[in-house]
C-alpha cells in the first residue's frame, strides 16, 4: 500500500558544457527512509548504515547543510533526498552570480557578492530531491516521522533484517550531457518518434519609452534625439531556485519590479502634457537575467542587428524608430531596495544624474553613498562589455555584498521583508511601502531634472505612491488575486499563491504578462473606445490597446506604448555557435514526460525478498515439471475410448 506525499521537485538544467540538478531513474528511485537530525545521524548513515540505498529526510536548518548534502551525494548510499524546515540564511546560487558572462571581476572570490552562496544550483546530484513545505504539508512531514519511528528508528544495526519504511521518488529527466548535445538530439529528424529532450530558457522583455519613438508620423522625435540621448531605466523580472514552480523572489527581483513600476508611473505623471525633449527615457524589464543575462544580451543583439524594438517593415504606417547602441547614453539599474542607506555602483566618475539623485534622496532623508571600481551582477555589465562608452549605475541597498541572505532561494519570501499589507490605509512611516515610495519619487524627479536640464523640481505631490506600492507588493508577495492584477486583466483571479518568477521555457509567463499590463495601466491613457473596438490598429506597431477595469465597472480602453520583445539567447539562433565561448547564455531546461511523484510504502526485509524470490522460482520450476509431465503423458491422461 502506497501513501502519496506532496512537495516541489528539483529538476535538471543544462548549459553549453555541463548538466546540473536532479533526476531519478525512469521507473523511479526507492530507498529506506532515514531522518537526519544532527551530525551523528549523518555520520552513522555514511559509515555504518547497512540497508542502503536510503532516501534521506534532511532539514535545511542542519548546521553545514550544503556540506551535508554533498556528503550524501558522494556516499553512494543515497537514492534520494527529502528537504524540510527553514533556515536563517541560504542561497543555492554561486557566490559570484553569472561570473562567466559579465565583466571579469578579479576580486569576487575574495569579496563575493553573494556571501552565503553554496553553488548547489551547479551540482549534478544524480538522484531526485523533493522539498516539502512544513506550512503547506505538515501532515506529510508528520507521517514520514511516524513511519520512520515505527519501523526504522529502533535496532539500527540490524535494519536489514526486518521490514522498513521506504520512499519512492520519481522525477525522470530526458536531457543529458549538455545543451549542445541535448539540442542536437531534439532536432534530429525522426518521423517515427519525434522527441524533445530539452528547451531553451526564454521569456519576454518589457519596454516602454517615456515619449513615443515613432519613425514616420513624428519626425520631430527623430530631429530632437541625438546620439547618447536615451536613458535606460531597467530592472530584472526573474529569479531562480532548485525547485519547480517555487521561485518567490521577494527581495530579488520583486522589489526592483515594484520600484520600477512606481518610478514609471510617477514620471509619466510629471511629464504629462510637456513637450518632447532631446533626451528620452526607456523603461525596460529584462527576463532571464539570472541565467547569464538572457534578456539584456538579446536586447543588445537585436539593437546591433536592427531588430529592436522590432524590424522595420514595408507598407506599415507607424512603427518605432530603431534603438541602437550609440543611442544609449546612460543605464540606470534598480536592484534590491530596502530601508536604509542606498549605494550606487558605477565605473564612472560622479555624473550629473548621480548628483541630482543624491540631492533628491537627501531631501527625503535617504542617505546615498557610492562604490566605484566594481559592479555587482547586473544587466549593466552586458552593456559596458559591449560598449565602454555607455555610462551606468546600479542602485541597491548593499555595498560590497548582498544583504539578501536568501538570494535565489525558496525562502526569499515576503516574510523576510517584514511586509505588512495596509489595505488602502496609510502605511506606517517606517514601512517598506513608505520607503520605496520616497525612493521612487526621488529617482523619478532626478530623471526628470536630467532630461529637462532643470536644477530642481519643486513638487511634493507623491501621487499616492506608498498606497500604490502597498497594493503592488501585496500582488507580487501575497496573492495575485488582488485589485491591481484583476483590474488589468478584467477578470477574477483565483490563485492564492504568488506566481513564480522563474524564466521558464514559455514566452508568456504569468509574471511577465501581469507586469506588462500593470505598466500599461499605470502609464497609459484612457481612450474613448468600446470593448469591441479596443484592439490594436492595422499598420500600427507602436501603440497597444487593452481593455481594463479602471474606474468604470464596465471597463475602459487603455492606450499604451508598452510592448514586449523576445528574451531568448542568440546562441540558439546563431549558426555554428561556439557553446563554450560564454558570449551568450546557453541554458536549457530538461523535459520530463511523467508526472513527478513521491510515495511511502513498507519495504520487506532482504530475507523476505529473497524468500519470496526463491518461492517464486521454486513454484515456477514445479509448474514447469508438472506441465512437462502432463504433456508427456497426455495420450494416457487424456485418452478417450471411442
Query: Mind listing the pLDDT tens digit for each residue in 466-523?
Result: 999 999 999 999 999 999 999 999 999 888 899 999 999 998 899 999 999 999 999 9
Q: Do 36 and 59 contact (CB within 8 A), yes or no?
A: yes
Q: Do 239 and 3 contact (CB within 8 A), yes or no?
A: no
Number of residues written out for the chain: 642
Please report whether residue 521 resides in a domain: no
Q: Please tell me whether residues 210 and 176 are part of one structural domain.
A: no
Please give the pLDDT value at position 640.
Answer: 60
Helices 39-47 and 65-75: angle between axes, nearest 10 degrees: 10
Mean pLDDT of the chain: 92
Q: Please tell me whether residues 120 and 227 are part of one structural domain.
A: no
Widest pairwise Cα distance in the chain: 122
Please give the pLDDT value at position 219.
Answer: 45
Residues 29-82: pLDDT tens digits?
Answer: 999 999 999 999 999 999 999 999 999 999 999 999 999 999 999 999 999 999
Please report whether residue 337 resides in a domain: yes
What is the average pLDDT across 245-260? 97
Please give the pLDDT value at position 226.
Answer: 80
Rounded CA-CA distance 409/248 in Å is: 8
Prediction pTM value: 0.93
Q: Do 56 and 45 contact (CB within 8 A), yes or no?
A: yes
Q: Please tell me whether residues 73 and 25 are part of one structural domain.
A: yes
Please give the pLDDT value at position 460.
Answer: 66
Please give the pLDDT value at position 60.
Answer: 94
What is the average pLDDT across 107-113? 88
Please report whether residue 508 resides in a domain: no
H/E stretch holding 271 = none
Of 112-116, 276-280, 321-325, where does mean pLDDT reach its minimum?
276-280
Rounded CA-CA distance 263/472 in Å is: 13
Of 54-63, 216-225, 393-402, where does mean pLDDT reach its minimum?
216-225
pLDDT at residue 191 greater than cutoff 70 = no
Q: Do 406 and 90 contact (CB within 8 A), yes or no?
A: yes
202: three-class secondary structure by DSSP: strand
Please give the pLDDT value at position 613.
Answer: 84
Rounded CA-CA distance 293/298 in Å is: 8
Please give the pLDDT value at position 205.
Answer: 98
Q: Please tell me whether residues 488 and 627 are part of one structural domain.
A: no
What is the average pLDDT across 230-239? 97
- In terms of phi and psi (left: phi > 0; alpha: psi -120 to 50; beta: otherwise), the region of 9 is beta
Band (pLDDT 50/70/90 cuts) for residue 458 is low
Rounded CA-CA distance 448/267 in Å is: 7
Q: Please tell me whether residues 231 and 343 are part of one structural domain.
A: yes
Q: Which residue range is the domain that position 628 belongs to?
A: 608-641
Q: Please tell me whether residues 109 and 180 are part of one structural domain.
A: yes
Q: Please tell me whether residues 462 and 395 are part of one structural domain.
A: yes
Band (pLDDT 50/70/90 cuts) for residue 192 is low
How many other CB atoms sit within 10 Å of the CB of residue 189? 5
pLDDT at residue 193 greater than cutoff 70 = no
- Cross-strand bridge partners of residue 214: 320
Please report whether residue 374 resides in a domain: yes
Q: Please tell me whether residues 263 and 385 are part of one structural domain.
A: yes
Using a pLDDT cut of 70, give the percent of the chain over it: 95
Please give the pLDDT value at position 128.
Answer: 98
Using a pLDDT cut of 90, give the percent of the chain over it: 76
More confident residue, 558 or 604: 558
Please report whether residue 198 resides in a domain: no
Q: Please tell me whether residues 79 and 143 are part of one structural domain.
A: yes
CB proximity list for 7: less than 8 A, separation 6 or greater:
82, 130, 131, 132, 133, 137, 140, 598
Q: Please tell me whether residues 92 and 49 are part of one structural domain.
A: yes
Q: Please tell me whether residues 621 and 597 are part of one structural domain.
A: no
Please report whether residue 356 resides in a domain: yes
Please report whether residue 440 resides in a domain: yes
Of 328-332, 340-344, 356-360, 461-465, where does mean pLDDT reach its minimum?
461-465
Q: Is the dihedral of CA 29, 32, 38, 43 positive or negative?
A: negative
How much of the chain is in helix, strand and coil states, percent to nearest 5? 30, 20, 50
pLDDT at residue 168 greater than cutoff 60 = yes
Please give the pLDDT value at position 248.
Answer: 96
Count structural domains, the chain.
3
DSSP strand pairing (328-334 vs 230-236): parallel
Q: Do 141 and 84 contact (CB within 8 A), yes or no?
A: yes
Residues 334-345: pLDDT tens digits?
Answer: 999 999 999 999
What is the average pLDDT across 260-271? 96
Between CA 633 and CA 641, with CA 636 as vertex, the angle to 5 degrees is 155
pLDDT at residue 314 greater than cutoff 90 = no
Q: Do 545 and 533 contact (CB within 8 A), yes or no?
A: no
Q: Please tell me whether residues 247 and 314 are part of one structural domain.
A: yes
Please report, for residues 225, 230, 251, the alpha-carbon distance to residue 219 in angstroms, rounded to integers and kept in the order given.
10, 17, 42
142 closest CA partner among 239, 209, 57, 41: 57
The CATH number of the domain holding residue 483 is 3.40.630.40
Please give the pLDDT value at position 642.
Answer: 47
Please report whether residue 526 resides in a domain: no
Q: Do 237 and 286 contact (CB within 8 A), yes or no?
A: yes
337: three-class secondary structure by DSSP: coil
Of 10-14, 455-459, 480-484, where does mean pLDDT reach its minimum?
455-459
Amino acid at each position: 500500500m502506497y501513501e502519496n506525499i506532496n512537495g516541489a521537485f528539483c529538476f535538471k538544467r543544462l548549459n553549453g558544457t555541463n548538466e546540473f540538478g536532479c533526476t531519478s531513474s525512469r521507473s523511479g528511485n526507492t530507498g529506506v527512509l532515514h531522518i537526519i537530525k544532527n551530525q551523528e545521524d549523518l555520520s552513522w548513515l555514511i559509515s555504518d548504515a547497512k540497508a542502503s540505498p536510503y532516501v534521506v529526510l534532511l532539514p535545511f536548518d542542519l548546521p553545514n547543510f550544503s556540506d551535508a548534502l554533498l556528503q550524501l551525494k558522494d556516499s553512494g548510499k543515497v537514492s534520494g533526498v527529502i528537504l524540510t524546515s527553514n533556515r536563517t540564511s541560504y542561497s543555492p546560487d554561486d557566490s559570484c552570480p553569472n561570473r562567466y558572462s559579465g565583466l571579469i571581476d578579479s576580486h569576487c572570490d575574495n569579496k563575493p557578492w553573494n556571501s552565503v552562496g553554496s553553488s548547489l544550483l551547479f551540482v549534478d546530484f544524480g538522484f531526485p530531491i523533493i522539498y516539502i513545505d512544513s506550512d503547506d504539508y505538515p501532515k506529510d512531514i508528520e507521517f514520514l516521522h511516524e513511519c520512520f519511528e515505527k519501523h526504522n528508528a529502533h535496532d539500527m544495526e540490524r535494519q536489514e533484517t526486518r521490514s522498513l519504511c521506504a520512499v519512492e521518488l520519481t522525477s525522470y529527466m530526458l536531457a543529458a550531457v549538455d545543451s549542445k548535445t541535448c539540442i542536437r538530439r531534439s532536432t534530429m529528424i525522426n518521423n517515427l518518434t519525434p522527441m524533445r529532450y530539452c528547451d531553451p530558457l526564454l521569456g519576454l522583455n518589457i519596454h516602454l519609452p517615456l515619449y513615443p519613438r515613432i519613425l514616420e508620423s513624428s519626425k520631430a522625435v527623430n530631429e530632437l534625439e541625438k546620439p547618447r540621448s536615451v536613458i535606460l531605466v531597467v530592472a530584472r523580472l526573474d529569479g531562480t531556485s532548485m525547485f519547480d514552480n517555487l521561485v518567490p523572489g521577494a527581495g530579488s527581483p520583486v522589489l526592483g519590479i515594484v520600484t520600477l513600476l512606481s518610478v514609471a508611473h510617477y514620471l509619466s505623471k510629471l511629464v504629462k502634457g510637456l513637450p518632447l525633449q532631446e533626451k528620452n527615457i526607456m523603461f525596460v524589464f529584462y527576463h532571464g537575467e539570472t541565467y547569464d543575462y538572457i534578456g539584456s544580451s538579446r536586447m543588445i543583439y537585436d539593437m546591433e542587428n536592427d531588430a529592436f524594438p522590432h524590424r522595420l517593415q514595408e507598407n506599415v504606417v507607424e512603427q518605432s524608430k530603431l534603438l541602437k547602441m550609440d543611442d544609449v547614453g546612460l543605464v540606470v539599474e534598480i536592484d534590491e531596495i530596502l530601508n536604509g542607506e542606498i549605494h550606487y555602483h558605477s565605473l564612472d566618475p560622479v555624473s550629473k544624474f548621480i548628483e541630482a539623485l543624491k540631492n533628491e534622496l537627501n531631501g527625503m532623508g535617504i542617505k546615498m553613498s557610492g562604490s566605484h571600481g566594481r559592479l555587482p551582477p547586473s544587466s549593466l555589465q552586458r552593456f559596458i562589455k559591449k560598449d565602454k562608452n555607455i555610462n551606468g549605475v546600479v542602485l541597491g541597498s548593499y555595498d560590497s555584498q548582498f544583504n539578501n541572505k536568501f538570494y535565489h532561494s525558496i525562502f526569499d519570501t515576503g516574510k523576510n521583508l517584514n511586509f505588512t499589507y495596509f489595505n488602502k490605509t496609510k502605511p506606517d512611516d517606517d514601512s517598506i511601502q513608505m520607503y520605496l515610495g520616497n525612493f521612487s519619487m526621488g529617482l523619478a524627479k532626478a530623471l526628470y531634472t536630467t532630461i529637462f536640464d532643470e536644477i530642481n523640481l519643486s513638487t511634493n505631490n507623491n501621487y499616492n505612491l506608498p498606497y500604490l506600492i502597498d497594493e503592488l507588493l501585496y500582488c507580487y508577495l501575497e496573492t495575485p488575486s488582488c485589485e491591481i492584477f484583476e483590474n488589468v486583466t478584467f477578470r477574477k483571479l483565483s490563485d492564492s499563491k504568488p506566481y513564480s518568477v522563474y524564466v521558464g521555457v514559455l514566452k508568456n509567463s504569468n509574471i511577465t504578462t501581469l507586469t506588462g499590463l500593470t505598466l500599461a495601466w499605470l502609464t497609459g491613457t484612457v481612450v474613448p473606445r468600446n470593448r469591441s473596438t479596443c484592439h490594436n490598429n492595422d499598420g500600427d506597431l507602436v501603440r497597444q490597446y487593452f481593455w481594463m477595469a479602471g474606474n468604470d465597472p464596465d471597463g475602459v480602453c487603455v492606450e499604451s506604448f508598452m510592448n514586449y520583445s523576445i528574451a531568448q539567447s542568440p546562441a540558439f539562433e546563431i549558426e555554428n555557435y561556439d557553446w563554450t565561448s560564454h558570449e551568450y547564455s546557453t541554458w536549457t531546461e530538461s523535459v520530463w514526460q511523467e508526472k513527478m511523484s513521491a510515495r511511502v510504502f513498507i519495504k520487506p526485509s532482504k530475507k523476505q525478498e529473497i524468500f519470496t524470490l526463491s518461492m517464486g522460482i521454486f513454484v515456477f520450476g514445479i509448474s514447469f515439471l508438472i506441465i512437462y509431465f502432463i504433456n508427456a503423458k497426455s495420450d494416457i491422461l487424456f485418452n478417450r475410448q471411442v
